Structure 1
Amino acid sequence: SLSKTHAPRNNAMGASVSQCCACGGLGRERIPPEQLRPRVTVGQLQDVDKRKLKRLILSGRLAPCFEAAEEQDAESSLEECLICWNWFPSTNHSECCQKSVCTTCFLQVKAPPSD
């Protein structure tokens, strides 16, 4: 489900970001540096352009790399990533079916090589 506070913004990558109160998805408020990089061990995402990732997050085109919660409490409005099954304050949504995917999982999905 989408955050109740804001509507999703479409991006050029074929997804939309659910926006949260903390960042608004618009880069208006400061996003902590730890949310501008993926939360995986070094080496798992070698092909990620960190500067491009930072620009996409600050522009609101990708959700920040939030710390995952393993379950949702009754008072929060967290969204579940359908790949890693963790909960996040904001996720990315596919344009075709609006399914939620966290930014770290989104970065690990690779397009097949073109022939």
Structure 2
Amino acid sequence: MACAHVPPGGGDEPIGEGIASYYGTALRGSRTASGERFDPEELTAAHPSLAFGTCLRVQNAENGRSVRVRVNDRGPFVKGRIVDVSEAAARALHFLRRGVARVRLFLCA
């Protein structure tokens, strides 16, 4: 997965911490806010304000697992959540069964 946009300042300091959820196969093929088609097997994410193409490292705060995702959509639209990730990313972070997880967001270095 290639992230097209890596903002300056990426690294060790989280830019956010909160609850992540995922969206899965039901939305396969639907258009994201960036105009591309959603593929639950790609490592992508929805964020309310980061530029499309931004590379984020999402870390599960409960188990330490991390994955790099590319922002290609807007959301989440549920109060208290800071990011929605694809099913592939949720699988890598080990929260598919629970559906949500406490995460930290980092800009890719």
| Structure richer in helix, relative to its length | 1
Give the number of the structure with larger relative contact order, counting CA–CA contacts within 8 Å between residues 6 or more apart.
2
TM-score, length-scaled by structure 1 = 0.30
In our comparison, the structure showing a higher alpha carbon Rg is 1
Structure in which a larger fraction of residues adopt strand: 2
